[in-house]
Amino acid sequence: MKSLLASIIIATVIPIAQAGADDYLYVVNGMAQTLSRINLTSSVVENHILTLGVAPNDIKISGDSAYVLNSTSDNIQIFDLIGQNEVGTMEFAQGGNPWEMAFAANGSLWVTNYVSGRLYEVDIPSRSILRNIPIGNTLEGILIYGSRIFVTDVNYNPDNFSFGDGKLYYSDLPELTNWSSVTVGVNPQRMLIGSDGNLHIICTGNYSDTFGAIYVIDPTTVSITDSISIGGSPGYGVLNKNNLVFLGAGGWVDYGEVYCYDGATYEILNGPANPIQTGAGAGGMVTDIYGNVYSCNFMEGTVSKINQFRQVVGTFFVGDGPQVAAYYNPDATGFDDGYPLDKSDLTLTLYPNPFNSWLSILATGFRSGEKLDIRIYNLQGNLVQEFNDVITGGNQIVHRWNGSELASGIYFLCAYSHYGTTQTKLTLTK
Strands (DSSP E) contained in 52-137 are 56-62, 65-70, 75-80, 85-91, 98-103, 109-113, 118-123, 128-134
Query: Model's pTM, two decimal places?
Result: 0.77
Is residue 64 helix, strand or coil?
Answer: coil
Strand partners, 343: none
Q: What DSSP string runs through 24-55?
A: EEEEEETTTTEEEEEETTT--EEEEEEE--SS
State pLDDT tens for residues 145-184.
Answer: 888 999 999 999 999 999 999 999 999 998 898 999 999 9
Between CA 355 and CA 10 the distance in angstroms is 11
State pLDDT tens for residues 58-89.
Answer: 999 988 899 999 999 999 999 999 999 999 99
Domains and CATH numbers, the chain: 24-341 (2.130.10.10), 345-428 (2.60.40.1930)
Burial 109-141 (b: 16+ CB within 10 A, else e): bbbbbbbbbbbbbbebeeeebeeeeebbebbbb
Burial 167-191 (b: 16+ CB within 10 A, else e): bbbbbebeeeeebebbebbbbbbbb
pLDDT in tens, the chain (430 residues): 333 222 222 222 222 233 357 889 999 999 999 999 999 999 999 999 999 999 999 999 988 899 999 999 999 999 999 999 999 999 999 999 999 999 987 888 999 999 999 999 999 999 999 999 999 999 999 999 888 999 999 999 999 999 999 999 999 998 898 999 999 999 999 999 888 889 999 999 999 999 999 999 999 999 999 999 999 999 999 998 888 999 999 999 999 999 999 998 999 999 999 999 999 999 999 998 888 999 999 999 999 999 999 999 999 999 999 999 999 986 654 444 444 544 445 566 787 888 888 888 776 655 545 566 788 888 777 788 888 766 544 455 667 888 888 888 888 887 765 555 666 788 888 7
